[in-house]
Amino acid sequence: GQQLNQSPQSMFIQEGEDVSMNCTSSSIFNTWLWYKQDPGEGPVLLIALYKAGELTSNGRLTAQFGITRKDSFLNISASIPSDVGIYFCAGLDGGSQGNLIFGKGTKLSVKP
């Protein structure tokens, strides 16, 4: 089935640093979503993107829907300890009965 390639798999950063992660696909997607999963909890929606080239912010988080519609990026500025968790990208390609396809996640660790 359709797959999303999410990178990096894990990151260890210092508090205050900026973070970048991305997701790529071999086919075109119509919607990109970014989720965060705190330890022991379910994923929570952070940002939704619906148009190629769209750039959307949510506090210190900024996500972009790639122009080619085959990728998306998430940036976190000035990281803090509560940013720790797993970040998932998810996409909708219109051919999977409307079901989201998830990347394998980026595990973020922040050193105080």
Partner 1 sequence: NAGVTQTPKFQVLKTGQSMTLQCAQDMNHNSMYWYRQDPGMGLRLIYYSASEGTTDKGEVPNGYNVSRLNKREFSLRLESAAPSQTSVYFCASSPQGYGYGYTFGSGTRLTVV
Question: Which residues contact partner 1 by CB under 8 A?
Answer: 1, 6, 9, 30-31, 33, 35, 40-45, 48, 50, 88, 92, 97-100, 102-105
Residue environment code for 62-96, b if the CB has 16+ CB neighbours within 10 A, otherwise e? bbbbbeebbbbbbebeebeeebebbbbbbbbbeee
CB neighbours (10 Å) of residue 110? Answer: 20
At which residue do the structure tokens 């210190």 appear? Answer: 60
Smallest separation, CB 32 to partner 1 (Å): 10
Smallest separation, CB 1 to partner 1 (Å): 6
Collapsing DSSP states into helix, strand and coil, what is residue 83?
helix
By beta-carbon proximity to partner 1, the closer residue of 17 and 99 is 99
By beta-carbon proximity to partner 1, the closer residue of 5 and 78 is 5
Smallest separation, CB 3 to partner 1 (Å): 9
By beta-carbon proximity to partner 1, the closer residue of 14 and 97 is 97
